[in-house]
A and B are shown apart, each in its own frame.
Chain A
Amino acid sequence: MNKTAAPRLGEPASLWRMRIVPVATVMLASALPLMLPLVANSPVLPPLGLLFFLCWQLLRTEMWPVWIGLPLGLWDDLFSGQPIGTAVGLWTLASIAIHYSSQRIYWRGFLHDWVIAALLIASIQSLAALIAHPGAATGRVLGLVVPQIVISILLVPLFMRLTGKFDNFRLKRR
């Protein structure tokens, strides 16, 4: 029972770290915009939580069950200012779409991942904006989120890299 002694060489990472790191990055990224002293006049920041969520799913499709969007989406809704339930629904649909695409496209490359992420970001952000403002003119609401969508799509490679770094940390052997 001397397990607390020095870890053995090449022992795999602890199960806790492997499970918590991805969830914690997404949750922290969702809550981060409300911790910055930034009072914005338009949606200026990319949806950080969504970007990490999609990147983790594209990098490790099998890691999470397909319903993981329900709790993580609810957490994001609490901080994003969107009506509660928007991300719950849209993130889960996105994760179903990623699982489906991973069955269709056998050897997904980086460009495939980027295109899938771009399509999902564009549709999630515009649908979320339309749900949040049902009374306003559709064109105007979409025009509001287009700059944010473009920035987010351009940031996907960076977030993919970051997710990769976190993934290395997650699986690092002792």
Chain B
Amino acid sequence: MVRPVHRRPGQSRKAQYSLFAAYVIAVTGAVAGLLLAILSVVDPVGFAQLRLASQEITAPIARVSRSVIGSISGIDDSVGAYVRAGSQNRRLRTELADTRRELVATSTLQEENRQLKALLKLQETDKTALANGYLLTSTSTSSKRIALLSIGRNLGVAAGQPVRGADGLIGRVLSSGPSVSQVLLLTDVDNIVPVRRARDGLPALAYGRGNGDLDIRTLNIANNPFKPGDILVTSGSGGLYPPNIPVAIVVRRQDDGALARPLADPGKVDAVSVLRPYTPDNIEAQRAPPSPPAPVPEPAP
């Protein structure tokens, strides 16, 4: 705009000093801020409570706007559904017929599986969730993929707990406040999930790309074994995510692995469950209640 008039504050000592002081404060503050940023990257827990406190303020507004507008992310889908209605209908009908056939085959397998498991006396791990909530909103202006969950410490949510939707894994709880908590989404650049291929148990790691997709890399440097359509589930190794939660489907092969798309889209998922972290004491605690203490085998005389 127009050239500012009083750039140099003239002869007034007071004005000169206050301008100088403003610059000193600004430069010192900027340097301190950047140091603080580096510090909070190194130790993210320390500042999490400060941020949660501010998000507790906006959470009620997000709750209201969510109940009024619904989830914005579905708009593109509902428009697309109208455009593609005819071809989609045909495709879905053939898919339905195929799925029915597969369902029959699967149900016999399921029964067989149940019998075999009964024989092996394998315990199903407890699948019940710790708490259920929904995703309110997310950091949509920054490169971090953090969503706000509608429940917090009031329902027992704590940092490190895995979060899943009906279709698959969503992420893990980063920090929890009194009534909201932050969820680091699966697709965040810093989120790494140990997975395995559902078909044959091939272990791999899923790295978030930050743009909604995942990079899948195998642990061994063999030739690239992935094919489009491979389903990946959590392997349970590493001890955070319980095994056998669906994670992603491979879209295409890449030089060093594969590109996969998460099965659960956090923008469209309605309700999410917070699970117990998969740690040895939790697994024991879950196994204990359903099984009565096994009778001690009589020592052979």
Residues of A that sit less than 8 Å from B by CB: 31, 33-48, 58-62, 65-67, 69-70, 73-74, 77-90, 92-93, 95-96, 102-103, 106-108, 113, 128-129, 131-136, 140-141, 144-145, 148
Contact = CB atoms under 8 A, between A and B. Distances in A.
A89 B147 CA distance: 25
B48 to A, nearest CB: 9
B: contact size bracket: 35 or more
A70 B33 contact: yes
B51 A78 contact: yes
Contact of A95 (B26, B36, B73, B210): B26
Interface centre among A40, A80, A144 (most CB of B within 10 A): A40
A103 to B, nearest CB: 6
B297 to A, nearest CB: 52
Interface of B: 1-4, 6-7, 22-23, 25-27, 29-41, 44, 47, 50-51, 54-55, 58, 61-62, 65-66, 69-73, 135-148, 185, 187, 189-190, 209-212, 265-267
Contacts of B142: 43, 47, 80-82, 128-129, 132
Given A92-B26, A92-B30, A38 B140 contact: yes
Contacts of B40: 83-85
A41 B139 contact: no
B41 A34 contact: no
A131 B38 contact: yes
B39 A34 contact: no
A46 B140 CA distance: 8
A71 to B, nearest CB: 9
A87 B34 CA distance: 8
A85 B37 contact: yes
Nearest to B208: A136
B273 to A, nearest CB: 16
